[in-house]
């Protein structure tokens, strides 16, 4: 085992680091230990659980892709363009990250509900309403996940610097060409990590989803809302469903770790 050239890690840092790891890992290990394997098998065979898991995965994936399409340009503006009010825009982007989930759901209802600021004109013009639909679930997920993608992507774009952009400009490349051929490829690992973060945040979304869309099996019932309902009547079933969510989340992160989430 090679020695660290910087010397031994000081205990004053190792001990709190170990405590932090314990705080994060012990509850998960305790949940795994408390779950009856037979309950896990029953949960996996449940149609309600399969429907909720499929809805969670599909809407989280859709929300991640929507967030990428609209969030990447916003992150680029914040990282590369010095415009009036940039700090205010960045602050407003962060706001959904700190809002209580129920407040996020109420805000979505105020804007996109059947009588909302935008929801009512959309309903009158098209007959379509977001609440209580799978598209409403996607919208709620976008609202809570988009800030994570924007802030993480902005950090990735800033970390690559603007020097290569400037070099491309001196060679005659316009900003759109530079964005496509220089900026995004250089920041791609960070953008991919931001996408995974947005997907994971979407997968675990609960408060805004249930406030904006209710909890209708097969339509708006995601795994978090199903776990909430199960917890009221059957703690063992809730444990099994929670373990399924944990396994899905860990599986995705492990599958992507070597390709996108580790750079050294």
Note the pLDDT of residue 1.
47
What is the DSSP code (8-state) at residue 6? T
Buried b (16+ CB within 10 A) or exposed e, 147-178: bbbbbbbbbbbeebeeeebeebeeeebeeeeb
Q: How far apart are CA 64 and CA 210, in angstroms?
A: 19
Distance from the first to the final alpha carbon of the chain: 19
Note the pLDDT of residue 23.
94
Asked if the model's pLDDT at residue 185 lies above 60, the reply is yes
Asked if the model's pLDDT at residue 74 lies above 60, the reply is yes
Asked if the model's pLDDT at residue 186 lies above 80, the reply is yes
Asked if the model's pLDDT at residue 130 lies above 70, the reply is yes
Better pLDDT: 191 or 7? 191
Average pLDDT for 229-245: 86
Burial of 194 (0-12, 13-18, 19+ CB in 10 A): buried
Quick check: 53 and 240 in contact, CB under 8 A? no
Q: Closest by alpha carbon to 206, among 144, 150, 132?
A: 144
Average pLDDT for 224-229: 91
Average pLDDT for 217-239: 89
Q: What is the pLDDT of residues 9-42, one digit of tens each?
A: 889 989 999 999 999 999 989 988 888 887 777 7
């Amino acid at each position: 085992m090679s020695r660290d050239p910087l010397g031994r890690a000081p205990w004053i840092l190792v001990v709190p680091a170990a405590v932090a790891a314990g705080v994060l890992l012990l509850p998960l290990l305790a949940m795994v230990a408390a779950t009856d394997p037979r309950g896990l098998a029953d949960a996996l065979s449940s149609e309600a659980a399969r429907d909720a898991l499929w809805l969670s995965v599909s809407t989280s994936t859709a929300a991640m892709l929507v967030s990428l399409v609209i969030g990447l340009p916003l992150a680029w503006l914040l990282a590369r363009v010095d415009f009036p009010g940039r700090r205010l825009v960045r602050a407003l982007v962060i706001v959904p990250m700190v809002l209580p989930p129920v407040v996020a759901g109420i805000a979505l209802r105020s804007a996109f509900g059947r009588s909302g600021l935008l929801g009512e004109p959309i309903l009158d013009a098209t007959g379509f309403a977001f609440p209580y639909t799978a598209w409403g679930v996607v919208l709620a997920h976008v609202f809570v996940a988009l800030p994570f993608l924007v802030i993480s992507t902005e950090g990735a774009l800033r970390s690559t610097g603007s020097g290569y952009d400037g070099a491309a400009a001196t060679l005659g490349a316009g900003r759109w060409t530079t964005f496509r051929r220089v900026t995004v490829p250089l920041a791609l690992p960070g953008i991919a990590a931001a996408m995974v973060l947005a997907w994971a945040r979407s997968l675990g979304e609960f408060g805004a989803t249930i406030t904006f869309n209710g909890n209708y099996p097969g339509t708006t019932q995601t795994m978090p809302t199903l776990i909430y309902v199960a917890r009221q009547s059957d703690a063992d079933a809730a444990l099994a469903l929670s373990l399924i969510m944990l396994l899905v989340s860990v599986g995705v992160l492990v599958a992507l770790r070597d390709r996108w989430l580790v750079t050294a």
